[in-house]
Each structure stands twice: as structure tokens, then as C-alpha cells.
Amino acid sequence: MERKHYKQEINMTEALMNRINELISHYPEGKQKSALLPVLHEVQDAHNNWLSIELQDKVAEILQIKPIEVYEVVTFYTMFNQKPIGKYMFEFCQTSCCCLNGAENLMDYTSEKLGIKMGETTPDGMFTIAGVECLGACGYAPMMQLGDFYKEKLTEDKIDQLIADCKEDKIILHDK
């Protein structure tokens, strides 16, 4: 399978660099790699919620580590996006408890409703659907994460309402 290379403008603003340097300062001299996860979050947030290879290379340069050390982390965690995503990313928990309670059917339903497959983004850039590992809310299965928030005890009706609310810009994605 051919891997598509996505281009991204790198914009390391003064404010972003100040935040990165503050995060690095929390760790002992020579241990700046320890700041990798929080730095990746900050950089991703500042770059439309995704990290191109070039941007990952920039993080490696800033932290004075090898690019592969950044790639290993970005490819391991589902919270880091390696390609552009939609404004609204439906991240369905796809582990045992959620699947036993219908998550897979809801993922299929959402894909059909939006006309895209898992991992794809709608042509208008509005929605992306992804399956992720356990989100730690088994008592509320099936569930998904939308931005910083959990959407729990999902049903087809709740999915329909979430899609409608997103289209009407009624969904708050972040608590910052």
C-alpha cells in the first residue's frame, strides 16, 4: 500500500516556542526528551491537530533527539494524527466492553451516515471517524471521544444528534 505524503505549513510562533521551552524546563538538563509528549500535544494543537513528518522532524530538532524517537511516539499513540483530520473527529472506543455493547455497529452506522470509511475525512473537512484503544469509560459503553469530551451510552439517535449539532456548530471541542 502506497503511503500518501501530506504537506503542512510549519509555524513555530514565538508563543509556541516559549511554551515548548517552559515544558522542557520542567526536566533536568540533558533530559529534554522527557518533554516529548507534552511538546507534541502543544505542537499538534498549534498546527490544525496533526503532525506531518516535517513537523515531527522539527520537534526532534528542538528536543535534540533523533527523528525516529519522535516517529515511534507519534505512530504508537492514537492521540497524535499523522494526516489532516476533520474539524470533528469521532474517536470510537473499539475495545471489548464497547464492542460488546454495540460500538462496531455504531461505527458502521456513522460511516454510512457520513459517507466515509473508518480513518477517512468527509470531503468538506468536517468529520473524521477513527477507532481507538480503550478510553477508560467502560461503564458508559459504547462511547467515543469528541475533542476533549466523552460521549457516552451511544445510540444511533445520539449519533444523529451529534452530527446535527456539529453541523450547526453547537459542539464545544476543547475545555481550554
Residue entry with cell 468536517:
126
DSSP 27: S
Domain ranges of the chain: 14-76, 88-168
Instruction: Read off the pLDDT of residues 82-98 as tens digits, 9 standing for 90 and up.
Output: 999 999 999 999 999 99
Rounded Cα distance, 103 and 101, in Å: 6
79 contact partners, CB below 8 Å, separation of at least 6 = 41
Whole-prediction pTM: 0.82
Phi/psi for 90 (5° steps) reads -85, 105
Yes or no: say if 136 and 128 are a contact pair by the CB < 8 Å rule: no
Instruction: Read off the pLDDT of residues 105-129 as tens digits, 9 standing for 90 and up.
Output: 999 999 999 999 999 999 999 999 9
86 contact partners, CB below 8 Å, separation of at least 6 = 121, 122, 125, 126, 127, 128
Yes or no: say if 54 and 62 are a contact pair by the CB < 8 Å rule: no
Is 166 marked as binding a ligand?
Answer: no
Is 97 marked as binding a ligand?
Answer: no
Instruction: Pick the closest to residue 171 from 155, 148, 154 (CA basis).
Output: 148
Question: What confidence category does residue 1 fall into, taking pLDDT thresholds of 50, 70 and 90?
Answer: very low
Is 98 marked as binding a ligand?
Answer: yes
Rounded Cα distance, 156 and 14, in Å: 45
Cell of 62: 528542538
| Per-residue pLDDT, 8 | 85
Share of the chain above pLDDT 70, in %: 98
Rounded Cα distance, 65 and 75, in Å: 16
| Per-residue pLDDT, 74 | 96
Question: What confidence category does residue 176 fall into, taking pLDDT thresholds of 50, 70 and 90?
Answer: low
CATH architecture of 14-76: Orthogonal Bundle (1.10)
Instruction: Read off the pLDDT of residues 49-91 as tens digits, 9 standing for 90 and up.
Output: 999 999 999 999 999 999 999 999 999 998 899 999 999 999 9
Q: Residues 135-158: what's their mean pLDDT?
A: 95
Instruction: Read off the pLDDT of residues 7-46 as tens digits, 9 standing for 90 and up.
Output: 888 999 999 999 999 999 999 999 999 999 999 999 999 9
For the domain covering 88-168, report its CATH number: 3.40.30.10
**C-alpha 73: how far from chain center:** 13
